[in-house]
C-alpha cells in the first residue's frame, strides 16, 4: 500500500462511493472495494467512515434502500422492487426496510393509502401553521405563507392518504392540540406533550428521539448531536436529519446550531429559528 495525499484519498473515496452507487444491487465485499483503490480493507473502512460517517456496507445499504423506495413510489410491485434493488429475499427486506422507513414496504409504497389524516391551520406569532395527525399522533407541523402552500406540502408527504380538513368545531382533539402549540409559540406557555407519529429512516428516528430530550433553553452543535447518539463522525447526516424533520417545534431541531454558534439552517427560515431560541432563553431566565 502506498501513502496517499489528502487529495488522492478524497478522489479514491469519491470513486468508491460512485462505484457503490452504480453497483448497489451486487454483492460488494470490503476487499473488492479496497482493491479498486489499492488500499487495505481495514484502511478503507477507517477512512471511508471518517469521510462519510458510515461504513461502505452501510453506505451500500442506504443506496439500496433508496432504490427500493423509489421503485415502490414508481408503482413497482413489492416483490419486483425487492429483487431489482439487490435484496436476496422477501424476508430480509421486511426486516431491514421496516426498521429504516418506519413502516412496512407496502405501507410506504401506498403513500399513506388507507390512512385518514386530519389537518387544521392556526395563525401564530411565527406565521400560519398547519398541523396534521393520524390515529397515532401528530405527523406534520409546518409553517408557511398560505393554506394552499401548506396543504401542498402535506399532500407531498402523504400523497395517497385521505386528507380531511378539520374545522375547529368538528375535531376537538386536533383543535386542542394545535391551540396548545399556538399558545406555546405565541404566548410562551409550556410546550405541549403531544403524541407523535414520526416517520423516517432509523438514523433520522434516532436523531429526532434524542432531540425530544433536549431541554428548553439548551442548544448543541450538529457535531455534539452526532456524538450524543453514538455516531460522532455522522454530523453531516445529523444535520440532514434535522432538515428532514416534518414536525416543527414539537421535535425541537431549532435547538441545534453550527459548531461556531451561528444559527445554521432551518427549513422554516432563520428568523423563526432565532425567535424560538430567544423566547426559550427568555423563559429560562425568568425561572
Task: Please give the positions annotated as active site.
Answer: 253
CA angle 47, 48, 54 (to 5 degrees): 125
Contacts of 11 (CB under 8 A, 6+ apart): none
Question: What residue has cell string 487529495?
Answer: 7
**Whole-angstrom Cα distance, residue 41 to residue 38?**
9
Phi-psi region of 137 (alpha: psi -120 to 50; beta: other; left: phi over 0): left
Determine the 3-state secondary structure of 87 from DSSP: coil
**Whole-angstrom Cα distance, residue 245 to residue 251?**
7
**Whole-angstrom Cα distance, residue 261 to residue 163?**
40
| Pair 90, 240: CB distance under 8 Å | no
Phi, psi torsion values for 270, nearest 5 degrees = -70, -25
CA dihedral 235, 201, 155, 275 (to 10 degrees): -30
Amino acid at each position: 500500500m502506498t501513502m496517499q495525499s489528502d487529495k488522492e484519498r478524497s478522489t479514491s473515496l469519491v470513486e468508491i462511493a460512485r462505484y457503490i452507487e452504480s453497483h448497489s444491487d451486487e454483492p460488494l465485499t470490503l476487499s473488492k472495494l479496497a482493491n479498486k483503490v489499492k488500499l487495505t480493507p481495514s484502511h478503507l473502512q477507517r477512512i471511508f467512515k471518517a469521510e462519510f460517517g458510515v461504513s461502505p456496507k452501510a453506505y451500500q445499504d442506504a443506496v439500496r434502500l433508496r432504490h427500493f423506495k423509489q421503485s415502490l413510489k414508481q408503482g413497482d410491485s413489492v416483490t419486483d422492487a425487492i429483487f431489482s434493488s439487490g435484496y436476496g429475499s422477501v424476508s430480509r427486506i421486511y426486516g431491514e426496510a421496516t426498521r429504516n422507513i418506519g413502516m412496512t414496504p407496502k405501507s410506504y409504497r401506498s403513500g399513506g393509502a388507507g390512512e385518514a389524516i386530519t389537518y387544521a391551520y392556526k395563525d401564530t406569532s411565527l406565521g400560519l401553521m398547519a398541523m396534521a395527525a393520524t390515529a397515532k399522533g401528530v405527523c406534520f407541523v409546518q409553517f408557511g405563507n398560505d393554506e394552499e402552500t401548506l396543504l401542498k406540502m402535506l399532500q407531498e408527504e402523504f400523497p395517497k392518504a385521505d386528507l380531511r380538513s378539520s374545522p375547529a368545531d368538528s375535531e376537538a382533539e386536533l383543535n386542542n392540540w394545535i391551540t396548545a402549540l399556538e399558545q406555546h409559540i405565541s404566548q410562551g406557555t409550556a410546550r405541549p406533550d403531544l403524541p407523535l407519529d414520526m416517520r423516517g429512516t432509523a438514523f433520522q428516528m434516532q436523531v429526532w428521539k434524542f432531540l425530544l430530550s433536549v431541554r428548553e433553553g439548551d442548544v448543541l452543535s450538529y457535531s455534539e448531536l452526532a456524538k450524543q447518539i453514538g455516531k460522532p463522525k455522522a454530523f453531516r447526516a445529523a444535520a440532514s436529519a434535522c432538515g428532514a424533520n416534518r414536525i416543527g417545534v414539537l421535535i425541537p431541531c431549532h435547538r441545534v446550531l453550527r459548531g461556531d454558534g451561528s444559527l445554521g439552517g432551518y427549513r422554516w427560515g432563520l428568523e423563526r429559528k432565532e425567535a424560538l431560541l430567544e423566547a426559550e432563553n427568555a423563559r429560562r431566565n425568568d425561572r
